[in-house]
């Protein structure tokens, strides 16, 4: 009876995951979808704790440790989520994603040690061609493969996510050296070689010449296993280190899919349907998102991982563009107040200034004056997938006013004023005109087609990709320097006086 109830709990959990993911596709239902999926997870966790029985009919014990871990993790996670600034959201996502990969790797380590602790050892008599003795180690091949894959993928996700976290918060700088991709490939080959060697030989006595006792054989098995772990960690570090700038959202999405696949391996290992379903959903969703973001950047995934535009080594110095012109706050207010249509392009600078609420206030004020206001959202604006959508949703901006890149590009020619708030690389015409630019070929928001362009930045410093923006020097472009939040508040005050 308890087993049937647990199966129902897992079924409910899997269904809520699917429903929650479906609801995440629409900003209007995303919050509720997240809550539904979290409820399903709680049901699955509590069902496992109180209803699960092993093959011998034993229940889970050590409830104090289990609930202690849940309590500590819950408190830390809640405080982190409530206190994190929107500018730090990408790095928090990277850290949490890395923790998921670490958990999957730890599961593989624990299960491997459990299997290897009491293997079936067979000692053969001495053979002259084989040395003093021959030993066979009997482990279930299916379980061993899942353990090794979970170890490799989870470790790569953990190490890569931690490097991404450090790069996003500025503590780790882009780093690359000649031949790095060859070294990465070498580590990858070593991982697969170790896995293949264990899978094909662990049942065949491959310790014939090197093991004189079963203890020695066990040591060699563990040595190869932890060698795979070491190479996976090194690979995760080295493959993310040179990547920076506009490629980071794609890398975060890719690492997220890795974590999902590693979690699915744990579901296979424990025959846990809800864990398997959750891992597959995360892995599939992360993979699809990665592909879509690469398509939005007009680049292949291999090009992102190898070309890595936006990294310190890849960024171009830029060429001399000439002078730019500034605009006074009062002139900007007049231009926007008497326009028919205004498009706002949010970027990372908006998040840094925590100006999303002031931006929404400006939008409402312009609407009261009969001005049509919409937001143009680039797929890789910010530091993580959907960063700008989350930012504006926090300020209760209507979802209907958010336009994706293709829709926005159709409306720019009929737009009177474009207000660019902290965006840089995603509006840089060099992506279309300069074949030597690291971002050449990336689709951008065609803000230059509007009648008037006002760009708000703190300074003329290049964006995250490290290259100068040609847009700032165009005739229709005016620079409005200052903190985004203060600039928006000043604009609101000026418009109210008109």
Distance of CA 263 to CAs 106, 272, 364, Å? 11, 11, 44
**Beta strands 120-124; 134-138: pairing state:** antiparallel
Cα three-residue angle 263-150-183, rounded to 5 degrees: 125
Contact 90, 169 (CB under 8 A): no
The residues carrying an active-site annotation are: 425
How far, in Å, CA of 212 to CA of 151, rounded? 29
DSSP string, 324-388: --B--HHHHHHHHHT-SEEEEEE-HHHHHTT-HHHHHHHHHHHHHTT-EEEEEE-TT-SSSTTHH
| C-beta atoms surrounding 486 within 10 Å | 13
- Residue 253 sits at the vertex; the CA angle it makes with 250 and 255, to the nearest 5 degrees, is 110
Can you name the residues that pair with 420 across neighbouring β-strands?
345, 455
Angle made by CA atoms 458, 462, 464, in degrees to the nearest 5: 100
In the chain, count H helices and then E strands.
17, 8
Q: Do 129 and 208 contact (CB within 8 A), yes or no?
A: no
What is the C-alpha to C-alpha distance for residues 255 and 234, in angstroms, rounded to an integer? 15
For residue 49 the two structure tokens come to 């704790």
Contact between 417 and 339 under an 8 Å Cβ cutoff? The reply is: yes
**What is d(CA 145, CA 158) in angstroms, rounded to the nearest whole number?**
20
| DSSP helix/strand/coil, 284 | helix
For residue 153 the two structure tokens come to 């993928």
């Amino acid at each position: 009876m308890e087993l049937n109830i647990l199966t129902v709990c897992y079924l409910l959990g899997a269904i809520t995951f699917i429903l929650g993911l479906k609801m995440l596709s629409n900003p209007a239902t995303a919050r509720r979808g997240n809550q539904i999926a979290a409820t399903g997870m709680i049901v699955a966790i509590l069902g496992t704790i109180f209803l699960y029985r092993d093959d011998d009919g034993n229940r889970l014990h050590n409830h104090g440790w289990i609930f202690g871990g849940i309590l500590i993790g819950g408190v830390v996670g809640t405080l982190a989520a409530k206190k994190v600034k929107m500018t730090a959201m990408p790095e928090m996502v990277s850290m949490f994603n890395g923790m998921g990969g670490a958990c999957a790797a730890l599961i593989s380590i624990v299960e491997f040690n459990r299997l290897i602790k009491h293997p079936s050892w067979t000692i053969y008599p001495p053979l002259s061609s084989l040395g003093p003795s021959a030993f066979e180690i009997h482990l279930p091949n299916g379980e061993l493969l899942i353990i090794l894959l979970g170890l490799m993928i989870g470790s790569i996700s953990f190490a890569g996510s931690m490097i991404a976290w450090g790069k996003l918060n500025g503590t780790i700088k882009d780093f690359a050296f000649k031949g790095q991709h060859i070294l990465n490939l070498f580590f990858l080959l070593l991982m697969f070689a170790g896995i293949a060697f264990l899978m094909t030989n662990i049942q065949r006595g491959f310790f014939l010449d090197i093991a004189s006792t079963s203890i020695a054989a066990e040591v060699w098995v563990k040595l190869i296993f932890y060698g795979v772990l070491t190479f996976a960690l090194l690979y995760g570090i080295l493959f993310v280190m040179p990547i920076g700038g506009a490629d980071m959202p794609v890398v975060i999405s890719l690492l997220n899919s890795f974590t999902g696949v590693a979690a699915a391996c744990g579901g296979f290992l424990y025959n846990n349907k809800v864990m398997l379903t959750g891992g597959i959903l995360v892995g599939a969703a992360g993979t699809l998102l990665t592909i879509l973001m690469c398509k939005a950047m007009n680049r292949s995934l291999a090009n992102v991982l190898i070309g890595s535009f936006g990294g310190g080594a890849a960024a171009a110095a830029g060429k001399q563009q000439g002078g730019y012109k500034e605009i006074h706050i009062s002139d900007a207010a007049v231009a926007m107040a008497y326009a028919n249509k205004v498009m706002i392009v949010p970027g990372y600078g908006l998040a840094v200034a925590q100006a999303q609420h002031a931006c929404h206030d400006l939008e409402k004020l312009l609407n009261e004056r009969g001005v049509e206001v919409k937001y143009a959202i680039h797929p890789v604006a910010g530091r993580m997938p959907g960063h700008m959508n989350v930012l504006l949703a926090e300020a209760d901006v209507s979802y209907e006013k958010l336009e994706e890149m293709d829709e926005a590009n159709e409306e720019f020619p009929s737009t009177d004023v474009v207000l660019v708030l902290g965006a840089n690389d995603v509006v840089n015409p060099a992506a279309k005109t300069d074949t030597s630019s690291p971002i050449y070929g990336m689709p951008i928001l065609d803000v230059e087609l509007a009648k008037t362009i006002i760009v708000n930045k703190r300074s003329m410093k290049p964006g995250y990709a490290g290259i100068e923006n040609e847009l700032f020097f165009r005739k229709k472009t005016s620079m409005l320097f200052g903190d985004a939040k203060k600039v928006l508040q000043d604009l609101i005050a000026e418009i109210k006086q008109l």
